[in-house]
Structure 1
């Protein structure tokens, strides 16, 4: 199903669109407590209004260099298989409306890391990747990253 509205986020200079129906909250990144023996892309856990949320460092997940100052990072809280996860991103943009005819197939030149999680692309002022929450959370793909 094609999402009608997307939350736009920026990660390492790439604009991603996440289906707004999957987004529970958008917050400034707060205190994250590390989890021993967790995969490198799990930043830790955080408390969000009494709920424990697993924080996913999307820079680490996609093998991007770490951000120098994490203080300005944002967190997009999504639900996956009934559990909340916080995607740590560089910035959050707007909620945009999307028409089905705006979506195009991934171009062959799209970076591999984005191809593995992309449900297509949208050409705005920049190229936006439609990011699949399911694919981002796929641990086999993440382990290969």
Structure 2
């Protein structure tokens, strides 16, 4: 039997850093990646909302996923992963501020282990790579209201 016949469906994932850990999202959710520019702070916004920015004439809400996921690390916050509005809650333009964007990788779904936390809507799964783990997260669970 060929290697292709024994493997499952593959998915492309965008890997990025939050602090010292590596996370990823399905590339199908990603519209683009931009550098961090001036953000306008929104008074009384949720603690995970860093502000908004104008991105090609569209107001884009910028979220800090470290706050959402409870990651204690300041990091650099150099890049913004902007998600496809058709794949976000309520069709809003949302971006996550991340420390660094690493690469796009192709992963066989059979290599993805389920979330170690029961009923965790934010974590799609865990991918073991060498001596480390990559956490596959769902960007659609973040509420920006």
Regions of 4+ moved over 6 Å: none
Instruction: Structure 1: give runs of 5+ residues left out of the alignment.
Output: 140-145
Shift of 1:3: 6.8
Partner of 2:110: 101
Contact 2:18–2:99 at 8 Å: present in 1 too?
Answer: yes
RMSD (Å), alpha carbons: 2.4
Looking at structure 2, the residues matched to 102 and 68 of structure 1 have their Cα atoms a distance apart, in angstroms, of: 29
Aligned residues: 131
**2:93 alignment partner, SS class:** strand
Residue 107 of structure 1 deviates from its aligned partner by 3.7
TM-score (norm 2): 0.79
Q: Report if aligned partners of 1:57, 1:88 keep a CA contact under 8 Å in 2.
A: yes
Structure exhibiting the larger radius of gyration computed from Cα positions: 2
From the superposition, tell whether residues 50 and 63 of structure 1 become closer, same or farther in structure 2 (CA, over 3 Å): same
- Scaled by the length of structure 1, the TM-score of the pair is 0.79
- Aligned match of 1:143: none
Q: 1:118 aligns with which of 112, 119, 123?
A: 123
Please say if residues 3 and 19 of structure 1, whose CA atoms lie closer than 8 Å, have aligned partners that are also in contact: no
Alignment of 1:66-105 (within 5 A): 67=74, 69-70=76-77, 73-79=78-84, 80=88, 81-105=90-114
8 Å contact from structure 2 (residues 19, 75) kept in 1: no
Over residues 117-141 of structure 1, what are the superposed CA-to-partner deviations in whole Å (9 max), with x where a residue is unaligned?
1111111132011101122x147xx
Distance change >3 Å, CA 104–CA 10, structure 1 → 2? same
